[in-house]
């Protein structure tokens, strides 16, 4: 269980994280989504006691991270895949961590095997690892203490499609066995496939949160017309704000009927009018992070 209450971090006058609250329950994967600079890493660093918050609190299994005795046995953390000592081999990295956590070093080969690092890779120095291999090593390290909670910042970075598929399976299995996972990403497709819950952050603030199903259902209406410029004009005249999609549609925070009537009144031919949720999480993400008016609409 992770509980974040009113977490805030200001750098000078800049609010990197602004009054962020959410919980991650056992048995679930929570996707922590946001564009670059949204405040994901800063939030995760605060949860892990690495960055002191300006205000607010965060607990893991009911306790602030810094007060956890032997934290690696409670929570597995992967914040930066390149944080490992480049001169050590993968096996050395895990062996040292095992000694620190009081774990039998005979667990190390199993941990390497679990993340798909073979005996040759285990003997290589981390500086020779690809980013994907570093992510795998970071995951092995996070899982080594058999924790109940995983906190992973962009763990899919550098993994190939097969690696991403593998990681999803691993996280799903971890949650299905009662674990709690908080997983950040700016690549929405990655999270869509594995998360049950979503927290979407933009400009340091939570702009949407809830179950994936709820959020997709509440993501507005996608409309497309033969004449895109005329549609824009009609929406503007009807006082309907929208966000353009990359393929010529518009996502509008209004019902299909409202949009359809406005189009009919103007004699506009629509070629598509449907809940935007069917277009996937990416559309919702674009909508939610598009502008303040839209953010207000989802509060």
Ligand X SMILES: Nc1ncnc2c1ncn2[C@@H]1O[C@H](COP(=O)(O)OP(=O)(O)OP(=O)(O)O)[C@@H](O)[C@H]1O
Q: How far is the CB of 234 from ligand X (least distance, A)?
A: 36
Give helix 90-101 / helix 131-144 axis angle, nearest 10°. 20
Among residues 41 and 89, whose Cβ is nearest to ligand X? 41
Residues 6+ apart with CB under 8 A from 236: none
Euclidean distance between CA atoms 50 and 80, whole angstroms: 12
How many C-beta atoms surround the C-beta of residue 165 within 10 A?
12
Stretch that binds ligand X, among 40-48, 115-123, 140-148, 237-245 (CB under 6 A): 40-48
Euclidean distance between CA atoms 12 and 233, whole angstroms: 42
Residues 6+ apart with CB under 8 A from 282: 188, 189, 192
Residues 6+ apart with CB under 8 A from 246: none
Among residues 73 and 186, whose Cβ is nearest to ligand X? 186
Which residues lie across from 205 on neighbouring strands?
202
Among residues 45 and 168, whose Cβ is nearest to ligand X? 45
Among residues 17 and 218, whose Cβ is nearest to ligand X? 17
Among residues 41 and 289, whose Cβ is nearest to ligand X? 41
Identify the helix (H) or strand (E) that includes residue 140: helix 131-144
Torsion region of 3: left, alpha or beta (phi above 0 gives left; psi -120 to 50 gives alpha): beta
Among residues 16 and 133, whose Cβ is nearest to ligand X? 16
Examine residue 34 and tell whether it contacts ligand X (CB under 6 A).
yes
Stretch that binds ligand X, among 38-46, 62-70, 249-257, 274-282 (CB under 6 A): 38-46
Euclidean distance between CA atoms 299 and 286, whole angstroms: 16
Contact 186, 154 (CB under 8 A): yes
Binding-residue pattern over the window 186 to 215 for ligand X, x denoting contact by CB under 6 A: x-----------------------------
Q: How far is the CB of 168 from ligand X (least distance, A)?
A: 20
Number of residues that bind ligand X (CB under 6 A): 11
Among residues 10 and 125, whose Cβ is nearest to ligand X? 10
Q: How far is the CB of 124 from ligand X (least distance, A)?
A: 28
3-state secondary structure of 24: strand
Q: Could you say which of 38, 60, 81, 223 contacts ligand X (CB under 6 A)?
A: 38
Q: Could you say which of 31, 40, 68, 136 contacts ligand X (CB under 6 A)?
A: 40
Among residues 36 and 120, whose Cβ is nearest to ligand X? 36
Stretch that binds ligand X, among 31-39, 138-146, 169-177, 251-259 (CB under 6 A): 31-39
Q: Could you say which of 28, 30, 42, 135 contacts ligand X (CB under 6 A)?
A: 42
Q: How far is the CB of 55 from ligand X (least distance, A)?
A: 15
Q: Could you say which of 6, 25, 27, 37 contacts ligand X (CB under 6 A)?
A: 37
CA-to-CA separations, 59 to 4, 66, 144, in angstroms, rounded: 7, 9, 21
DSSP 8-state assignment for residue 269:
P
Which residues lie across from 42 on neighbouring strands?
none
Residues near ligand X (CB under 6 A): 11, 16, 34, 36-42, 186
């Amino acid at each position: 269980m992770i509980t974040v209450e009113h977490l805030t971090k200001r750098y000078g006058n800049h609010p990197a994280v602004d009054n962020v609250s959410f919980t991650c329950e056992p048995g679930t994967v929570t996707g922590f989504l946001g564009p670059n600079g949204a405040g994901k890493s800063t939030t995760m660093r605060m949860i892990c006691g690495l960055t002191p918050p300006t205000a607010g609190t965060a607990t893991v299994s009911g306790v602030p991270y810094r007060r956890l005795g032997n934290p690696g046995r409670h929570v597995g953390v992967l914040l930066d895949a390149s944080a490992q000592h480049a001169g050590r081999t993968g096996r050395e990295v895990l062996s040292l961590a095992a000694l620190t956590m009081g774990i039998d070093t005979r667990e190390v080969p199993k941990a390497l095997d679990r993340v798909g690092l073979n005996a040759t890779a285990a003997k290589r120095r981390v500086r020779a690892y690809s980013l994907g291999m570093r992510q795998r090593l970071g995951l092995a390290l996070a899982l080594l203490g058999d924790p109940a909670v995983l906190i992973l910042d962009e763990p899919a970075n550098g993994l190939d499609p097969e690696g991403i598929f593998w990681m999803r399976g691993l996280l799903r299995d971890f949650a299905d066995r009662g674990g709690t996972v908080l997983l950040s990403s700016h690549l929405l497709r990655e999270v869509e496939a594995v998360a049950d819950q979503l927290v979407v952050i933009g400009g340091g603030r939570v702009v949407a949160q809830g179950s994936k199903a709820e959020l997709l259902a509440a993501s507005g209406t996608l409309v497309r017309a033969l004449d895109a410029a005329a549609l824009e004009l009609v929406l503007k005249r009807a006082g309907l704000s929208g966000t353009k999609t990359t393929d010529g549609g518009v996502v509008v925070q209004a019902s299909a009927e409202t949009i359809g009537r406005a189009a009919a009144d103007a004699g506009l031919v629509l070629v598509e009018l449907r809940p935007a949720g069917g277009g996937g999480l990416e559309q919702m993400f674009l909508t939610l992070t598009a502008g303040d008016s839209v953010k207000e609409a989802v509060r």
